[in-house]
Amino acid sequence: MPFDPIVAETTRVADHREPVIAHAEQTAAARARLEEYRSKHGRNPNFCWILFDDVGWGDFGCYGGGVAVGAPTPNIDRLARAGLLLTSCYSEPSCSPSRATLMTGRLPMRHGLLRPPMYGEPGGLQGEVTIASLLADAGYTTQAVGKWHMGENRESQPQHVGFDDFYGFLSVSDMYTEWRDPYFFPEIAYSEERTKWIENQPFNKCFVHATRGGDAEDVEEVTIPVLSTLDDKWAAYSEDFIKRMGGGDKPWFLYHNTRGAHFDNYPLEKYLGSSPAKHPYKDTIIELDDIVGRLVAALRETGQLEHTMIMVSSDNGPEMETWPDAAYTPFRCAKGSTWEGGVRVPAIMAWPGMIDADHASDGLFNFSDLFPTTLALAGAHASIPDDRFIDGVDQSSFLLAPDGRSHRKYHYYWLQTMFSAVRCGEYKMMLASISDDSRDVMNPGGFTGVEQKYPYGRLYNLYLDPKETHSYLIRKLAYIEAFTSGMSHHLRTFGKYPPKNAMSRPS
Ligand code: CA
């Protein structure tokens, strides 16, 4: 049956939930598949989320990059062929907002991480209900590895918000090394006084290990040589976790976050010059692809591949202000913006035997959707909180049913506290954004731009115009009602469920 999200009606789920497009037959088919799995295997699936940092929509071969842009990604491409490749998966414009949305099923205006906390700033995930805590309540072993960046304060650390174990760093790659590198920060690196000054700042210079409810213990100071080994060490830690869990009968959730390919990239020695591009960013992509290969191999070797739903994605678009330590998006602008280049991310969903292979979809998927979707697959749907607004939509039948379609009618774009745009079908209506500068190809906007508002709005057809260069509004006024009704419904939810700011100072 043909399906058109622009004309599709939505169904109310609850006051505190995003309305959905109901697909009754598809939902029944997915439920039957899941019940068959449970009765055959007598268990719930594992979840393995592999999240890259600042990797562009187009970096992987399966998205048109890979060998074409000087860094082949055979392992990721193979995984994409084994599952579902999403072409319209949306993150938030930067790291911490995106990650907290994955963890909570809520948009940044609700979980309060409107921008990344930096250099030991207070503020983070504390007080939120996370997917890790709900899966732990449902009997899962929960493991976080790698980059955290949802608050360095104790209460926001992973071992206090639902994870049994954490091995990684609490902040973001550049914070550990930028000031040590005389190429990027000569005025600190060559000054004893300034080096001492930054060393005395209250942020942790080490990567850490922590177990549930305990304190984070320093493992090693993240100098530049140590940084280059982190992704390898973290992958080994996750491989060990997968192997250990293979011997037991408890389901598990592994949240594996790479350091790469956030600036600045210092590849592990064996990867130096390993990409056809020979650039550190591209060499890092080669390593990230190998890491996907290693984790999938560990699942296969331990007989857990058919019991594990794997998600591979990136937390936001490429950071073009540090070009060329960033790479490929075919869309306009970059990280920090609500243009497609900032928020449209690669996303591969694989679960052999349960998610059909060789399948791509342009259906809308938001990072918040992973929260209710995962809980539905874990049989823990009833644990979704009802005391707060949950923006995520249960997309389990989109993933599991043959030729599944998205249950999401609208994607809402926010730039911190500024409502920016809404997408429905192939159209995006934009009311405000961050400026970029098409004359300066080396520095196209992102965090650098200024806020700009469009009094009449702009309408982009993302199929005809993926770079969002021609507003189509005057020719397409018939769509206005469809967009404004979705927008005003969304904005009204903030009346009953007021926005939150978890950061110490608004930016
Ligand atoms: Ca990021």
Q: At residue 507, does pLDDT exceed 50?
A: no
Mean residue pLDDT of the chain comes to 94
Ligand 1 centroid, distance to 211 Cα (angstroms)? 25
Ligand 1 centroid, distance to 277 Cα (angstroms)? 22
User: 279-289: per-residue pLDDT in tens?
Assistant: 999 999 999 99
- pLDDT at residue 358, as a whole number: 95
Per-residue pLDDT band at 244 (split at 50, 70, 90)? very high
Query: Hey, what CATH topology would domain 24-413 get?
Result: Alkaline Phosphatase, subunit A (3.40.720)
Which of 149, 256, 359, 407 is labelled catalytic? Answer: 149
| 333 a catalytic residue | no
Ligand 1 centroid, distance to 149 Cα (angstroms)? 9
Q: What is the mean pLDDT of residues 43-47?
A: 97
Rounded distance between C-alpha atoms, residue 374 and residue 214, angstroms: 27
Burial call 164-199: b when 16+ CB within 10 Å, e when fewer: bbbbbbbbbbbbbbbbbeeebbeebeeeeeeeeebe
- pLDDT at residue 438, as a whole number: 60
Percent of the chain predicted with pLDDT > 90: 90
Rounded distance between C-alpha atoms, residue 277 and residue 280, angstroms: 9
- pLDDT at residue 202, as a whole number: 85
* Pairing outcome for strands 427-434 and 451-461: antiparallel
| 89 a catalytic residue | no
Rounded distance between C-alpha atoms, residue 346 and residue 313, angstroms: 5
- pLDDT at residue 505, as a whole number: 52
Ligand 1 centroid, distance to 54 Cα (angstroms)? 4
Which of 62, 89, 95, 333 is labelled catalytic? Answer: 95
User: 67-111: per-residue pLDDT in tens?
Assistant: 999 999 999 999 999 999 999 999 999 999 999 999 999 999 999
User: 135-192: per-residue pLDDT in tens?
Assistant: 999 999 999 999 999 999 999 999 999 999 999 999 999 999 999 999 999 999 999 9
Ligand 1 centroid, distance to 314 Cα (angstroms)? 7
- Please state the pTM of the whole predicted model: 0.97
- pLDDT at residue 506, as a whole number: 45
Q: At residue 1, does pLDDT exceed 60?
A: no
Q: At residue 437, does pLDDT exceed 90?
A: no
Q: What is the mean pLDDT of residues 292-319?
A: 97
User: 337-382: per-residue pLDDT in tens?
Assistant: 999 999 999 999 999 999 999 999 999 999 999 999 999 999 999 9
Angle, helix 280-301 to helix 224-246, in steps of 10 degrees: 20
Ligand 1 centroid, distance to 485 Cα (angstroms)? 32
- Of 11-15, 128-132, 243-247, 324-328, the poorest mean pLDDT is in 324-328
Percent of the chain predicted with pLDDT > 70: 97
Structure tokens at 41: 């295997």
Q: What is the mean pLDDT of residues 256-261?
A: 97
Q: Which of 115-124, 237-246, 430-439 has the highest mean pLDDT?
A: 237-246
